Structure 1
Amino acid sequence: MGQVRAVLTRVWAGRPTSVRASASRAWPVLVNLVRMTVGGVLAYLITLVVTDGPIDLTGSLTALLVMQASATGSMRMALVRVGAVVTGVGVALLVSIFVGLTWWSLAVVIFSSLLLARTFRLGNQALETPISGMLILAAAGQEIAAEVRLTTTTLVGAVIGIALPLLWPPAIPVPSASGAVRRVAAGLAAAFRDASVQVDERPVTRDSVEGHLDAVRAVTGDIGRASDEVSRVRDIWRWNTRAIGRADVGPLLQTGLESLQACAAAARALFIAMLREAPEEASADAFSDDVRSAYAVVLADLGECIDAFGRLVEAETQGEQAQLHEVLDENIELLRETRAILTELMLAEVDDTEQWLLRGSILRAVDEILQVLDARTRARNHDRWRSTQGDRPLPGATTASELVPLDRVLRWPGVARWPGRRRATGQVTPPPAPGPAPRG
C-alpha cells in the first residue's frame, strides 16, 4: 500500500489525501461544468423563442466558446479571447452566406481567420479564431441556416456567453492555491528532515548529499504548479463579482511563494556547497561526530521552520494566522540557538581553507533562510496588507468555491430534519425543561 501511495504521489503531485480534500477540490470543477452546461442550454432555449423554423445549435456553440473565454481571468484576456471567437464567427458568416461548406471555402475560412488573428495580434488565442470559424461554417452547411438565422443565434450565444459569467462568476481557487503553496513548504521541509536523519546516523558522503540535492530540486515542480495556481487566483479575481467586498489574498500567496522560492535557492546552495567538499567514502568524513549531531539538529529545525511558514501562509487566507505566527516565531528562535551552537563547534574545528569555505557556505545558507522566514517581518507585512484591504472579509472557502453556501443549505427545512443533523454541526440538543415537582 505504501508503494502504491508513493507511485500516486510521483504521478499525481499534490493529489488530495482525504475525502474532504477531494470533495473541496472536485466541487468547484463540478460547479464550473454546470455553469457551462446551463449557458449552452440557455442559449438554445432563447434561440427557440427568437427564431422560427428548424433550429441549429450555433447559439449554444457560440455561448460555450465565449463563456470559456470570459471565465478564464482578467477582462483584458477575456476581451482578447472573445475577439478571437467573434472574428472567426464573422469570417464564417460571410463565407457561408455566399458559398456554404466546401473544401475551398474551408480553406478560405482557416486562412482568413489566421490572417486576421495575426493582424489583430491575438497572440496565444489566435487558434481560437479558425476553430470558431470552422464550427460555425459546419453549422451553416446543414441546410438549416440562413444569414439571418446565423446572425441571430450567434448574437444570442455571444450575449449569453458574456452575461452569464458576470451573473454566475467562476469559482476563485483560493483553497487550491494556498494548498499548492503549502505543498511547496512541505516538500522542502521533508527534504531537510530526511537530510537531518541521514547526517545524524551516518557520515556525510557525496552520494548522500546528491540525494538531498535531488530532493530539493524535485520541489521545483511544486513551485511551478503553485505559481500557476497563484496566477489563476489573481487573474480570476479581476472582474469577478464573487470578489466584490472581499479582501484580495493574492498578494499574501505571492509573497509567501516568493519566500519559499528563496528558501529553495538557499537550500540548493547549501547542498551544492556540501557536494563540492563531501568525500567519496564514508571513512573520510568532513565533520566530527559533535558537528554532525549539531548540524542534524539545525537541518531538522530548518524543516520545521519552513513547514510552519507554509502552514502560516495557508492560514492567512483563512484568517487563522495568529497562533501560527507564534509557532513560527518559536521555531525561528530555536533555529537561531542551534545555529549558534553549530557555529561554535565549526569554528573550533577549522583546520584549513577548504573547511572554512564549506562551513561558511552552510552558515550563510542558514542565515538566508532565517532572514526570509522571519516571523516578525511576515507579521508586519501582513498588517500592512490588511491596512490596504480595510475591513473587507477574507474570501473563505464557501465564498470562493461554492455555488450555494453550505450553511444556507443546512438551514433548509428538509435538511434540518435529517437524523443526526444536530450532532453533525456540533449543536447540542438542550435537555427538556423540568416539569412541575410531583405532588405528595
Structure 2
Amino acid sequence: MAGKGRGVRDVTDPLLDLVRRHSEPVVAQTLRSTVAAVLAYVVALLLSSEPAPLTAPLTALLVVQVTLYTTLTTGVRRVNSVVVGVVIAIGFSSLVGLTWWSLGLIILASLVIGRFVRAGEFVPEVAISAMLVLGVTTTRVAATAWDRVLETLIGAVVGLLFNVLFVPPVWVQPASESIEHLAGRMRDLLLRLGDQVLGQVPVAEAAARLHEARQLDHDVVQVDAALRQAEDSLRMNPRVKEGLLSRVVLRTGLDTLEISAVVLRTACRTLTDLAKARTGEPLFRGDIAGALRELFGHMARAVESFAVLITTQVSASAEEAEDRLVQELAASRASREVVAHLLLDGVREHPRQWQLHGALLAEIDRILDELDVAKRSERLVEELNRQSREQREKYPWVAKLRARLGAAPEHRLDALRLPPE
C-alpha cells in the first residue's frame, strides 16, 4: 500500500506543482494554447466540410504566443505561408501528379518562394502545406486546398482574437527576478573577493573566483532571453501605458550589469595573476587588505541597490533604492581613495607587480562609473530619444495622429507605472 501511495504521489505531485506555478510564463502559455486550440477546433467543425479539421487547432496552437505582439506577427506569417503553399500545390497539381521528382520539385519551389514572401520561421510550412494538398487525388485538390486555407484562417483568427480578448500577462516580473538574480550573483562574488584578499590566497581559490566570474556570462544570456520576452509583452499591450519607458529602463539596466560583469571578470583575472606571483605570502598588506574588503562590500551593496532601482515598480521604492545606491557609491569612492593611497605607499616600498595594482584600481573605477546614477539618467534619455526618433521615422502616421489628438509623449521619466503581475 505504501508503494502504491508513493506511485500516486509521483503522478500527482507534478500536476500540483503545475497548478502552484500558474503565474509562470510556461504554465500560462500551456493553458492558454490548450483553450485556444479547442475553441479553434469547435469553430472549424461548424464552418469546414472536413470531418476532422485538425489544421485549425494546430494553427491556433502555433499562433497563440506568450505575448500579444508575437501572436499578431506569428499569425500573419503563418497564414501567409499556408496560402502560398496551397497556391503552389494547385499550380503543380494541374501540370503533374505526385511522383518522386515532382515532390522534390515542389519542396524546392516552396522553400525558395517562402523566402521571397517573407514567411520567416514558417518557410517550412509553405512546403508542408503544398505537400499535404498535392498528396490528395486530383479531383480533390481544389476542395482540400481551400479547406486547408479555411482551417488555417479559422485557427489564426481564433488565436488572434483569444489573445486580443484575453490579453496575455505582462512578463516584467520574471525578467525583473532574473535581473535581480544576476545582480545577486555579482554581489556574492564581490563579497567573496573581499574575504579573499585577507591573508594568503592559494592560486586554486583565486582561479575558482575567476571561473565564477566567467559563469556570469551564462547568466547574462538567460536574463537577456527573459528580458526579450518582457519587452515583447509590453509592445501593443493595452494594459501598459508607458511601454517604451519600461522597456528602456530594463534594457539599459541589463546593459549596465553586463558591462560591470565583464569588468568584474577582468578584476578577478588581475587578482588571480597577483596570486600566481605571490605564492606563499599575502596578496596585500594587512591595512590594504582591510580597506579593499570594505571597498568590495560597498560595491556589492551598490550593485544590489542598482538592481532594485531598475526593477522596482513603485516610485517610493525607486527613490529609496536610488538613495541607497548614491550612498553606497559615495562610500565606495571614498574607500577607493583610501585603497589608492595605501597601494601607492606600498608600491613605493615594494614595487613588485605595481601594474596589477593599477589595473585593479582601474577596473574598480569602471564598475563605479557604470553604476553612477547621473550616467544612468543620461543613458536613459539618450535611448528614449533614439527609439522615439526611430519610431517616428518608421511610423510617421502614428506621430501625426498623436499630435492631432494632443497626446503626451509616451516616455516620461516620472511616469513609470507597470501593471501588477
TM-score by length of 2: 0.75
Change (3 A) 1:335 1:122: same
Residue 114 (structure 2) aligns with? 117
Residue 44 (structure 2) aligns with? 47
Deviation at 1:250, TM superposition (A): 0.8
Q: State which drifts further: 118-127 or 170-179.
A: 118-127
CA distance in 2, matches of 1:69, 1:109: 33
CA distance in 1, matches of 2:239, 2:133: 33
CA distance in 2, matches of 1:96, 1:119: 22
Determine whether 1:395 maps to 2:418.
yes
Match of 1:29 among 16, 26, 31: 26
Residue 155 (structure 1) aligns with? 153
CA distance in 1, matches of 2:336, 2:164: 54
Deviation at 1:241, TM superposition (A): 3.5
Deviation at 1:255, TM superposition (A): 0.8
Deviation at 1:59, TM superposition (A): 2.4
Deviation at 1:180, TM superposition (A): 1.3
| 1:305 aligned partner, one-letter code | A
Any idea what the Cα deviations from partners look like across 1:300-334, whole Å, max 9, x if unmatched?
22222112211222215787311111111221122
Q: State which drifts further: 125-134 or 332-341.
A: 125-134
Q: Percent identity?
A: 27
Any idea what the Cα deviations from partners look like across 1:215-272, whole Å, max 9, x if unmatched?
1111111111111222222234333344356564110111111111121122122222
Residue 252 (structure 1) aligns with? 249
Change (3 A) 1:67 1:108: farther
Unaligned stretches of 5+ residues in structure 1: 1-18, 399-440
| 2:152 aligned partner, one-letter code | T
Kept in 2, the 8 Å contact 1:216–1:264? The answer is yes
TM-score by length of 1: 0.72
Unaligned stretches of 5+ residues in structure 2: 1-16, 385-407
Change (3 A) 1:94 1:156: farther
CA distance in 2, matches of 1:241, 1:99: 50
Kept in 2, the 8 Å contact 1:85–1:132? The answer is yes
Residue 188 (structure 1) aligns with? 186
Residue 166 (structure 2) aligns with? 168
| 1:44 aligned partner, one-letter code | Y
Kept in 2, the 8 Å contact 1:97–1:146? The answer is no
Structural mapping, 1:288-307, within 5 Å = 288-307=285-304
Kept in 2, the 8 Å contact 1:32–1:171? The answer is no
| 2:358 aligned partner, one-letter code | G
Deviation at 1:54, TM superposition (A): 3.0
CA distance in 1, matches of 2:353, 2:318: 41
Change (3 A) 1:353 1:233: same
Kept in 1, the 8 Å contact 2:172–2:230? The answer is yes
Change (3 A) 1:119 1:195: same
Structural mapping, 1:1-16, within 5 Å = none
CA distance in 2, matches of 1:46, 1:77: 20
Kept in 2, the 8 Å contact 1:88–1:131? The answer is yes
Kept in 2, the 8 Å contact 1:192–1:299? The answer is yes
Any idea what the Cα deviations from partners look like across 1:404-428, whole Å, max 9, x if unmatched?
xxxxxxxxxxxxxxxxxxxxxxxxx
Structural mapping, 1:120-269, within 5 Å = 120-122=117-119, 124-133=121-130, 146-200=144-198, 202-243=199-240, 248-269=245-266
CA distance in 2, matches of 1:337, 1:395: 36
Match of 1:347 among 336, 344, 349: 344
User: Could you say what secondary structure the match of 1:397 adopts?
Assistant: coil
| 1:349 aligned partner, one-letter code | G
Structural mapping, 1:265-276, within 5 Å = 265-276=262-273
Deviation at 1:387, TM superposition (A): 7.9
Q: Choose between structure 1 and 2: higher helix proportion.
A: 2
Residue 363 (structure 1) aligns with? 361
Deviation at 1:285, TM superposition (A): 3.3
